[in-house]
Amino acid sequence: MTSVESRWARVGALFSCRPASTTPDIERLLIETTHSLQSNARLLPIAVTWLATYGNFVARQRLRHLAREAAPEEQAALGLLIDFAIAHGASEDLRLCSRDCNPLLAPGPLFEIHRRSAALLRLAESSTHDIARRWGLWTPFPDLKHDAIRPVEWLLAHNPSLRERVVRKGDLRCSIIETLRHDTAGESPSETQLARSTGATRAAVRASLHALLQEGAVRIARNPGGRGPRVITLAA
CA distances (Å), origin 170, targets 61, 63, 88, 123, 225: 8, 10, 19, 38, 35
Residue 140 has phi, psi (to 5 degrees) of: -70, 165
Cα–Cα distance for residue pair 76/134, rounded to 1 Å: 9
Convert residues 155-194 into a mask of x (bound to other proteins by CB under 8 A) and - (unbound).
Answer: --xx------------------------------------
Q: Closest separation between CB of residue 70 and other proteins, Å?
A: 22
The answer to whether residue 123 forms part of the interface with other proteins (CB under 8 A) is yes
> By three-state DSSP, how is residue 151 classified?
coil
Q: Closest separation between CB of residue 111 and other proteins, Å?
A: 5
Give 92 or 147: the residue with its C-beta nearer to other proteins.
147
Segment near other proteins (CB under 8 A); pick from 66-74, 78-86, 107-115, 174-182? 107-115
Convert residues 30-49 into a mask of x (bound to other proteins by CB under 8 A) and - (unbound).
Answer: ----------xxx-xxx---
Q: Using CB under 8 A, which of 128, 139, 159, 198 touches other proteins? A: 139
Q: Using CB under 8 A, which of 89, 151, 160, 189 touches other proteins? A: 151
Contact 139, 65 (CB under 8 A): no
Q: Closest separation between CB of residue 27 and other proteins, Å?
A: 22
What is the DSSP code (8-state) at residue 204?
Answer: H
Q: Give 81-123 as a DSSP string.
A: HHHHHHHTT--GGGGGGGTT----SS-EESSGGGGS-HHHHHH
The answer to whether residue 23 forms part of the interface with other proteins (CB under 8 A) is no
Contact 46, 15 (CB under 8 A): yes
Q: Closest separation between CB of residue 143 and other proteins, Å?
A: 8
Cα–Cα distance for residue pair 182/59, rounded to 1 Å: 12
Q: Which positions touch other proteins (CB under 8 A)?
A: 3, 5-6, 9, 13-19, 40-42, 44-46, 110-111, 113-114, 116-120, 122-124, 126-127, 139-140, 143, 145-151, 153-154, 157-158
